[in-house]
Amino acid sequence: MKKKVLLMGKSGSGKTSMRSIIFANYIARDTRRLGATIDVEHSHVRFLGNLVLNLWDCGGQEAFMENYFASQRDNIFRNVEVLIYVFDVESRELEKDMHYYQSCLEAILQNSPEAKVFCLIHKMDLVQDDQREIIFHERQEDLKRLSKPLDCTCFATSIWDETLYKAWSSIVYQLIPNVQQLEENLSKFAEILDADEVLLFEKATFLVISYCERVQHRDVHRFEKISNIIKQFKLSCSKIGASFESMEVRNSAFAAFIEMFTPNMVVMVVMSDTSIPSAATQLNIKNARKHFEKLESLVTPHRGMGSNTR
């Protein structure tokens, strides 16, 4: 299943950087080495096995932009499933940015009216802490107003913290066809395990694709932090030519298990009852594997989960 994703925004707003971080395992500071994107760079990202994201990274220099809206209009804006428009929060040419954004929406409306639109207010790290919320809300309101009749979802992002993961997780989430089914099963699984929460990560990007929270947690950004932590560790492992298969971390208050789950998903189980032996949880995870493999293949009809030990 192929999905065309347009990545647009003015030159230097950070489109290629974020693409590299999310899909090519770059770390934030390595993105300084990236040059400007010339015209359109196409890339295919295999996500969850059979979901292929066809990313069109559109260079944002004015000459290219004009071109997109004129001679390449049909080519670019046809069959778009998702438009991701990136705004540099520090941009001094707000008017112009908005103008291009609107031209873009116009073209989308003509060629792919069903497309989902996401706006990322990017480089938020450059804004003072206490100003971030205010500025984001201002921009969000402007954008929502300008986007009509289309609906847009806004995120405040920065490559230097977890907000970028959060935004992309939510975007990708909307592209997964059977995600509700996955979620239902996950919550059943969590119940059987007696877990506080269970998370599913996509294996290559470590984006969170589904989760079940049974005990409320105070940190709303924790998933993205975990993604970051694990991705960092994956890189460390790759330096010695290894990759990690499973991980168990505990102290007196919690036990967390991260395991390769299905060919394209990684599961994380968090338990607060530390008296449950690790082996029991691990066995449960092992037994659920088959079921989720079936789910992942997107074609199998829903079935109950009978084979768990607890």
Partner 1 sequence: MSFEDDPTGTYVGSFPKGFGYGPEETEIEGATNPGEEKPRILLMGLRRSGKSSIQKVVFHKVSPNETLFLESTNKIVKDDISNSSFVQFQIWDIPGQIDFFDAAFDSEDIFGGCGALIFVIDAQDDYMEALSRLQMVVTRAHKINENIKFEVFIHKVDGLSDDNKIETQRDILQRATDELADAGMDNIRLSFHLTSIYDHSIFEAFSKVVQKLIPQLAILENLLDIVISNSKIEKAFLFDVVSKIYIATDSSPVDMQCYELCCDMIDVVIDMSCIYGARDDGAFDNESAAFIKLNSSTVLFLREVNRHLALLCILREDGCENRGIIEYNFKCFRSAIQEVFVARNKQANKSTGHPQMDHLVNGQIDGTLDSGISSQSNGMLGAAGGHSFLNGSVRRADDDDDDD
- Rule CB under 8 A: say whether 220 interacts with partner 1: no
Closest CB to partner 1 among residues 190, 226: 226
Closest CB to partner 1 among residues 115, 120: 120
Stretch that binds partner 1, among 10-18, 112-120, 126-134, 241-249 (CB under 8 A): 241-249
- Rule CB under 8 A: say whether 133 interacts with partner 1: no
Cα distances (angstroms) measured from residue 173 to each of 135, 165, 169, 183, 207: 26, 12, 6, 11, 9
Site string for partner 1, 135-174 (x = CB under 8 A): -------------------------xxx------------
273-292 residues near partner 1, rule: CB under 8 A? 274, 278
- Amino acid 111 reads N
Pick one of 1, 2, 24, 30: the residue that binds partner 1 (CB under 8 A). Answer: 30
Pick one of 188, 214, 225, 286: the residue that binds partner 1 (CB under 8 A). Answer: 225
Closest CB to partner 1 among residues 230, 298: 230
- What is the DSSP secondary structure assignment for residue 124, as one 8-state letter? G
Pick one of 128, 216, 251, 275: the residue that binds partner 1 (CB under 8 A). Answer: 251
Tokens of 140: 């969000």
Cα distances (angstroms) measured from residue 144 to each of 134, 220, 243: 16, 24, 43
Closest CB to partner 1 among residues 83, 193: 193
Beta carbon of residue 222, minimum distance to partner 1 (angstroms, whole number): 5
Spatial distance between the Cα atoms of 209 and 202, rounded to a whole number of angstroms = 6
Tokens of 23: 């899909």
Beta carbon of residue 248, minimum distance to partner 1 (angstroms, whole number): 4
Taking a C-beta distance cutoff of 8 angstroms, is the pair 117, 108 a contact? yes
Q: Rg of the Cα trace of the chain? A: 21
> Which of these, 15, 51, 10, lies nearest to 31 by C-alpha position?
15
175-194 residues near partner 1, rule: CB under 8 A? none
Which residues 6+ apart lie within 8 Å of 127 measured at CB? 89, 90, 135
- Three-class HEC string of 23-43: HCCCCHHHHHHCCCCCCEEEE
- Amino acid 271 reads M
Stretch that binds partner 1, among 148-156, 175-183, 228-236, 298-306 (CB under 8 A): 228-236
Tokens of 8: 């647009």
Beta carbon of residue 140, minimum distance to partner 1 (angstroms, whole number): 22
Stretch that binds partner 1, among 7-15, 166-174, 186-194, 227-235 (CB under 8 A): 227-235
Taking a C-beta distance cutoff of 8 angstroms, is the pair 97, 90 a contact? no
Q: Which residues bind partner 1 (CB under 8 A)?
A: 27, 29-30, 33, 160-162, 217, 219, 221-222, 225-226, 228-230, 232-233, 235-237, 239-254, 256, 270, 274, 278
